[in-house]
Chain A
Amino acid sequence: MSDVFALAGQNLASPIILSFVLGFGAALARSDLSVPEAVAKALSLYLLFAIGFKGGAGVAEHGVHSVLVMSMLAGAILSAGIPLIAFTLLRAISRLDRVNAAAVAAHYGSISIVTFVAATSVLATKGIQAEGFMVAVAAVMETPAIFVGLLLAAHASATVQTTAGGRNGLDKDLIREVALNGSIVILVGSFVIGWITGPAGLAEIDPFIGAPFKGVLTLFLLDMGLVAGRGMRQGMRHLSPSVVIFGLVMPLIGAALGTATGMALGLSAGGVALFATLSGSASYIAVPAAMRVALPAAEPSIYLTLSLAITFPFNLILGIPIYVAVATALTGG
């Protein structure tokens, strides 16, 4: 337990977290501080490219094992299974209707890639190795939850029906948009490039994707703090106390499942911690867009505020240190 507090303390005092807190506080205080949209987009592209490339290079260096395929399969199962737990829990503890509960559940089955990037940074700082293929697991975990969430909602109303024109609902356009959203394409694409070019390729561009990584992540999290703070300021009134409690408890449930899965697969301490982080995080990019198209009856002020303003800060500040400490203790690494 003391390890958890020590790591949480170190994490809190890092430039990355303090920048996030700065942004969060500035937004709550209604400061006009902002990061231009195009700059934030460029920062996120850089981070996703760097993390994908390093993951691919890591796989090239250490080889492909059956555990890679098993991990991706386990990730897909977790992504599909976690919404069922989230949905049941939400319906039990809150007054959210079925459609909104299903939409929220889909967010918690999917993943937050920024939380994943932050976790890899914490692991790197601690000198803890992780399997490079966790990048691929992250990509796989993004979408199954969306379909499970829509199926859960379909029982409640006709809001998921595809219209005669096939324009709304769960149509092929939505499936394509979700599967090929920009974050996934650059993450998987850079992973494949890193895999193909290997350590030699990594050495070529390491000055670009290595040393500046933490600085860029720090600036990006300043922006994420601003976004999360504004989300909290605008959306908190839409969240009941029980829903807020869900936003703090569900990451721990998801992370426990991710930890158990990582342990069962025999992953390293870093791999287990990243599996926990992915399972404990909630989407606020791909899933909200999919929900607006396929489930417009669900309230974005509920699911977006919950994942972005409650669960994301929780994971960033407390969740990741807990997941890393638990994974380290369990694996002995």
Chain B
Amino acid sequence: METHAAKRIEIIIEAPMQTRLTRVLEEAGAPGYTVLPVFGGFGRSGSWSREGQVSRAAGMVAVICIVAPEKAEPLLEAAYRVLERQIGIVSITDCEVVRKERF
């Protein structure tokens, strides 16, 4: 099967910032994204777990966006405006997609 090169942008961000991030992704032309729950982790700000959170304030979510390579840079610039001062991780990996026109 023929596949096409794409970029997979994964952003782990604080839950209260989720809607702000997804909105700028949409405005910057993201063809789509997926939001996933994150169960816990450890990093510079210490460890945390989804279990026992009294609200979403201290929780994290993962936003995954797969785009054509040429769209990655403007999306990242838009996302960075939201992420700049927040706790979170941004990673970009190369991936392959089957239906090129959707990305």
Residues of A in contact with B (beta carbons under 8 Å apart): 27, 34, 37, 159, 163, 165, 167-168, 173, 177, 224, 226-227, 230-231, 234, 238, 284-286, 288-293, 296-297, 299-301, 304, 308
Residues of B in contact with A (beta carbons under 8 Å apart): 14, 16-17, 19-20, 24, 45-58, 81-82, 84-87
B85 touches A296 (CB 8 A): yes
Contacts A292-B14, A292-B17, A293-B16 given; indicate if A168 touches B85 (C-beta within 8 A): yes
Partner of B55, one of A27, A163, A173, A288: A288
- Rounded to whole angstroms, the CA-CA distance of A177 and B56 in the bound complex is 13
Contacts A34-B52, A284-B54, A288-B57 given; indicate if A297 touches B81 (C-beta within 8 A): no
B24 touches A159 (CB 8 A): no
> Shortest CB–CB separation between residue A112 and chain B, in angstroms?
10
Q: Is the interface of B mostly helix, strand, loop or mixed?
A: mixed
Q: In this complex, what residue of B is CB-closest to A27? A: B52
Q: Which residues of B contact A167 (CB under 8 A)?
A: 20, 24, 81-82
The winner among B24, B50, B55, B84 for most chain A CB atoms within 10 A is B55
> Shortest CB–CB separation between residue B54 and chain A, in angstroms?
5
B57 touches A300 (CB 8 A): yes
Q: Which residues of B contact A227 (CB under 8 A)?
A: 52-54
B57 touches A285 (CB 8 A): yes
- Rounded to whole angstroms, the CA-CA distance of A328 and B24 in the bound complex is 54
The winner among A177, A292, A308 for most chain B CB atoms within 10 A is A292
B85 touches A304 (CB 8 A): no
